[in-house]
Amino acid sequence: MKLWAQKRMKSLRQWCKTLANRLNKSKEPAIDFCCKNCETTFTGHYCPNCGQSVREFDRPFGFVVYDFMGTVFAFDSRLIRTVWTITTKPGRLTADFLAGKRNRYTPPFKFYLFVSFIFFLLLSIGGQRSVDGINTNGKAVADSITSNISLSLSEDVKDEMDEAMKQELEESKVMIDSIAAISKSGLTKYVEEKMENSDDWSDTEKKLAENTLKVSRYPDLYINKFLQYLSWSLFLLMPVFALLMKLLYIRHGLNYMRHLIYAVNIHAFNFLILTIVLAANLYMPKQWAELIYWIIVLVPIYAWIGMRRFYQQSRRKTFLKLMILAGSYNFVLLSALIIVGYFAIMNI
């Protein structure tokens, strides 16, 4: 009797579950959409042919704002989680992405582009400030020295200084004021003297000399062009970094894409650290900025821990491979910087 009652209760629960499913389906019937982009009929939220969303923007503004804020906050939560994971758990972000846990993080290439954009923006601001400082530093130093001399003389020998000494002081001020102009025009004069005997120069040499003069007069043009080419070159060097990783771990038999994802994440971390250092240098007091400079030491330590966790090798092998990787990639990076500098000055 007890067994019969249990079977009846089981069948009753199954019947209720089936009825509930049928009621839900009847309340929410499937809707067929026609894609406005490719005119494909489908059911769901995205067109299976072209991938366009069924989301409509021709609706009240409040709905659009609500949808936009939801997208922004979703991006912010993923970005914060990505930054936390990549900074506190070396190698974890790459492992999770390759294990299929991707929706919780910002995609690797998108995160790299975001961090590198902030880095080069701050680098451009810092470069412009340096150019402005070079233009005004010589005159500021001259004014400071002259004012100190004048103050000292006025306090100590104010009553005894005759007209000859005053005239000599004015002449020394003129001489000090010209130091900045002389130092700044040194390169210009040197290039101009060389160009006077440039009859046997090639077109490339003449263009290089002319652009060098332009750089000495407008250094901000060269800095902007150099940073533009540098950002492109660093992006193109990531596959080279991944290739070096592939060669170092060739016995592991891993696909090249695994090494490339790791390369993207390690470059993003490096840009993140450099961004923090640049921001501190630009917007924080000097004593605090000098303390933050020490976080650059984290870069090789982070790379060693990340390689050891991701590739699962011993400490000694990981350290040796990191040294080989650092030496070879730094050589490639230095060569790229020389090429970037040349093309930047040739294309101003």
Mean pLDDT for the stretch of residues 7-34? 56
User: What is the model's pLDDT at position 23?
Assistant: 43
What is the band of 48 on the pLDDT scale with cuts at 50, 70, 90?
A: confident
Task: Report d(CA 270, CA 7) in Å as an integer.
Answer: 64
Q: Which is more confidently placed, 73 or 126?
A: 126
Task: Identify the CA nearest to 259 among candidates 239, 287, 233.
Answer: 239
User: At which residue do the structure tokens 């007890």 appear?
Assistant: 2
Task: Report d(CA 112, CA 125) in Å as an integer.
Answer: 20
User: What is the model's pLDDT at position 269?
Assistant: 93
Long-range residue pairs from 136-140, CB within 8 A, at least 24 positions apart, any chain: 137/180, 138/179, 138/180, 138/181, 138/183, 138/184, 139/177, 139/180
Assess whether pLDDT exceeds 70 at residue 333. Answer: yes
Q: What is the mean pLDDT of the chain?
A: 74
Write out pLDDT tens, residues 151-194. 554 444 545 545 555 555 555 554 544 444 444 455 555 555 55
Task: Report d(CA 140, CA 124) in Å as an integer.
Answer: 24
CA separation, residue 234 to residues 91, 120, 303, 330 (Å)? 21, 11, 18, 12
Q: Which is more confidently placed, 133 or 78?
A: 78
Mean pLDDT for the stretch of residues 92-103? 88
Q: Which is more confidently placed, 253 or 51?
A: 253
CA separation, residue 347 to residues 52, 129, 204 (Å)? 41, 23, 11
The residues that bridge with 42 in the sheet, in sequence order, are 33
Calculate what percentage of the chain has a pLDDT beyond 70: 64
Mean pLDDT for the stretch of residues 304-313? 91
Select the highest-mean-pLDDT range: 131-140, 195-204, 266-275: 266-275
User: At which residue do the structure tokens 């650092």 appear?
Assistant: 326
180, amino acid identity: A
Task: Report d(CA 109, CA 111) in Å as an integer.
Answer: 5
Calculate what percentage of the chain has a pLDDT beyond 90: 22
Write out pLDDT tens, residues 239-256. 999 999 999 999 888 899
What is the band of 209 on the pLDDT scale with cuts at 50, 70, 90?
A: confident
Write out pLDDT tens, residues 13-23. 565 555 555 54
Select the highest-mean-pLDDT range: 24-33, 76-85, 199-208, 266-275: 266-275
The domains of the chain are located at 108-124+219-346
Task: Report d(CA 224, CA 232) in Å as an integer.
Answer: 13
Lowest average pLDDT, out of 49-53, 87-91, 122-126, goes to 49-53
User: What is the model's pLDDT at position 263?
Assistant: 93
pTM (2 d.p.): 0.64
